[in-house]
Amino acid sequence: MNARPNAMMDDIAAGSIRIEGRTHLPNSMRLPSPPDSSGWAALNGARSEFEKEVREAGWTFFFMAGEMHATVFGFDRQKTLRAALQRLRADVQSHNCNAIEIMHVAVKSFLKVPYVSVSAHARHLQEGLIFSGQPLTDFNLTGANKL
């Protein structure tokens, strides 16, 4: 059980970044925090230092255009926030990206039913300057497209 019940709410705020735990990192870097039970690690407060280390290693931390949104209704704020984040992570992975940056979190109600609305952008950490996020398809796995 989590020692701080609002720990997830603290991690999910505008400007926070979460990185998929199995993301390949430059040799000189480590994730700033261990991945949670969902397999994603929070980049807690060290964002500028993290981005500086990425640049110095010759890697790129892409910011993908097109904001994503998830809205979840429910009375348990933690569960609704967790569900919204899960939906956004699935969307990020469908774009072949390995990180997410939260842009806006709102807790509201409609007809006295509370809901959480989260907006985010996909991010992608990789070596090099050209985005290489490609879906793994049977065609790619067979090597038929290799020269």
> How confident is the model over 77-117, as pLDDT tens digits?
999 999 999 999 999 999 999 999 999 999 999 999 999 99
Could you tell me if residue 2 is inside a domain?
no
Is residue 55 in a domain?
yes
| Number of domains, the chain | 1
Domain that holds residue 112: 7-142
Please check whether residue 37 lies inside any domain of the structure: yes
1 within some domain: no
Residue 35 lies in a domain: yes
* Interacting residues of 4 by C-beta distance below 8 A, sequence separation 6+: 10
Question: Would residue 109 count as lying in a domain?
Answer: yes
Per-residue pLDDT of the chain (147 residues; tens, 9 = 90+): 344 444 444 567 888 899 998 888 888 777 777 888 888 988 866 677 888 888 888 899 999 989 999 999 999 999 999 999 999 999 999 999 999 999 999 999 999 999 999 999 999 998 877 787 654 333 333 444 333
Distance CA 118, CA 111 (A): 19
pTM score > 0.95 for this model? no
Residue 147 is assigned to a structural domain of this protein: no
Burial of 87 (0-12, 13-18, 19+ CB in 10 A): middle
In a domain, 54, yes or no: yes
